[in-house]
Amino acid sequence: KAEQQLTVKATTDDLTGCLNRSTILQQLKMALAASSPQDVSSHFCLLMFDLDYFKQINDRWGHQVGDAALIHFCDRIREVSPAGSALGRVGGEEFVLLLARTDGMAATLLSSRLRAALISKPLRVGDKTLVLSFSAGVVEVCQGQRDTSAILMRADKALYDAKRTGRGKTVLASDYL
């Protein structure tokens, strides 16, 4: 039991209960190693999320409400994400969701469903009601891609494009950087 608790502590984010950065990146590497250009079922998608206006939440209502927003965000994403997906926190308000056997279009549609689920159930903290949203970048990983840094850069660029064009959007990464 103590060993199991240590493993959980070493692999999860203390605040949100999501996988921590090193664990989600390790899962990405394992998914890449298992993928094959010949086997379409081994293809997967990576969604990179960033909670919109998170700095304003922290600045206006404090870090305690900001923490509650992160926890609420993760809880909603986990509730709606398909079985077998992996959600990890890679930075302050930045998260990665790995989706097995999913193409870019399906991942983009899932992102819309995740956003709708988040909006439909606002965060209530005391007398405050916060409607949260996110921007997302999607990368379809297939054809024997192996470079985790390049995949993360593509997802980050797509996420930046979603934020730049108005937030609350999902952008599917193009095949070039």
Identified catalytic residue from 79, 93, 94, 140: 93
- Residue 172 token pair: 């599917």
Question: Dihedrals φ, ψ of 115, to 5°?
Answer: -65, -45
Question: Tell me, what DSSP letter sits at residue 82?
Answer: P
Helix ranges (H only) for the chain are 2-11, 21-34, 54-61, 63-80, 104-120, 148-164
151 phi-psi bin (left φ>0, alpha ψ -120 to 50, beta other): alpha
Question: Dihedrals φ, ψ of 96, to 5°?
Answer: -125, 135
Scan for tokens 């709708």, then name that residue: 116
d(CA 7, CA 63): 27
- 3-class secondary-structure state, position 166: coil
The alpha carbons of the chain give a radius of gyration, in whole angstroms, of: 16
93 is catalytic: yes
The catalytic residues are 93
